[in-house]
Amino acid sequence: MTVLRVLTTPDQTLRTKSRNLSVAEINSEEVKTLINDIYETLRAGEYGVGMSAIQVGQPLAVTVVMIHPTPNRPELTNFNKVYLNPKIIETFGEKEPMWEGCCSVLDENANPVYAKVPRYTKIRVEYHDKAGKKHRNLADGFLAHVLQHEIDHNNGILFTDLVDVRNIISQEEYRKLNKIITH
């Protein structure tokens, strides 16, 4: 497995709409390798909980979610899943804001920036698994938030597109605000 280079703004590749994969492509060695490399890239990062293939320069609708406890969200439980060709087919309730950052959106010092992004608290998502089988599942809470962020990546949308730029804060401000202690 390889740690891949993560694209960052202003790289216009991040604005590319990812294409869906055929079942044959899903079962290919190339896509399996890409999935493993995205997992490895996420493991190498500090706090990332999801990544889409477009973030590593591949305009394919491949999303890996790897949720784990973080300093700001210690209550999270481990969750690992691959979503191929994911799309939101239904939303529920009102949108609620939650803090987001992204390893593809950095400030001038190469540190992540953060903002509270309003997203639905519950969604129904349709996707293929690693074997090419189609699923429809409900996702709520933090997982729903992460999936919306990653599916946005597949559509060339960054979280900063969804908020007033005046509400974007630095990593230092985010850590102070959320009382995150770093060593």
Taking 3-state DSSP, the helix, strand and coil percentages for the chain, each rounded to the nearest 5, stand at: 30, 35, 35
Which entry of 40, 94, 150, 172 is annotated as an active-site residue?
Answer: 150
Residues in the chain: 183
User: Please, what sign has the CA dihedral across residues 125, 156, 104, 20?
Assistant: positive
Contact indicator for 125, 87 with CB cutoff of 8 Å: yes
**Contact residues for 155 (Cβ-Cβ < 8 A; gap 6+):** 17, 18
Residue 150 known to be catalytic: yes
Residues marked as catalytic? 150
